[in-house]
Amino acid sequence: DLITIGVIKKAHGINGYVHVHPLTYDPNRFFALKRVYLNDKRKTELKIEDIKQSGKSLIVKFRNCDNRLAADALKSLELMVPETEKIKLPSDVYFIHDLIDCTVFDSSGQQIGIVIDVQENGGNDLYVVQRSDLTEVLIPAVSQFIKSIEIELKKIEISEIPGLLD
């Protein structure tokens, strides 16, 4: 199994470099990687030749990606690594793919819905929860609202949040 650690945003320059938006707890992990896989039909392996930090982004050069046209062809593709290479996280931090499909309950045990996405929102993430009527609600991923997360049980318990579910 492969897990996503970044997304190629756009080409950088004319020599085949790309901007990568890291989707990982520790973006520095990229500097130790020798190869990644594309989230395409073939799970194409890309060998990393060079990486540079550029603000919150990374500038990456892959072997055989030698011009802007080749770099443009990679735009919007996800970069993945084998799940066996995932990094160890602090106890209160979770991989997005582990949160997807978790069932969300309030403190009385009433089911709110299912996590279908996690949005990065500057200061804190937002869990996108789809309710049974297919409407969506955004729940801030902060300790004030999240009482517990049990990844093994795919269960998240939230505090009562006045007005959030109206």
How far does the chain reach from its first CA to its final CA, in angstroms? 38
Domains 2-85 and 96-158 share a fold: no
Instruction: Write down the CATH superfamily of domain 96-158.
Output: PRC-barrel domain (2.30.30.240)
pLDDT surpassing 80 at residue 3: yes
pLDDT score of 86: 84
Cα–Cα distance measured from residue 33 to residue 35, given in angstroms and rounded to the nearest whole number: 6
Domain boundaries, the chain: 2-85, 96-158
pLDDT tens-place string over residues 128-155: 999 999 999 999 999 999 999 999 999 9
**Cβ within 8 Å of residue 47, ≥6 positions away:** 34, 35, 62, 63
CATH of region 2-85, choose from 3.30.110.30, 3.40.640.10, 2.60.40.1760, 2.40.30.60: 2.40.30.60
> Is residue 25 scored above 90 in pLDDT?
no
Q: What is the DSSP string of 48-79?
A: EEEEEEETTEEEEEETT--SHHHHHTTTTPEE
> In this predicted structure, what is the pLDDT of residue 23?
86
pLDDT in tens, 97-135: 899 999 999 999 999 999 999 998 778 899 999 999 999
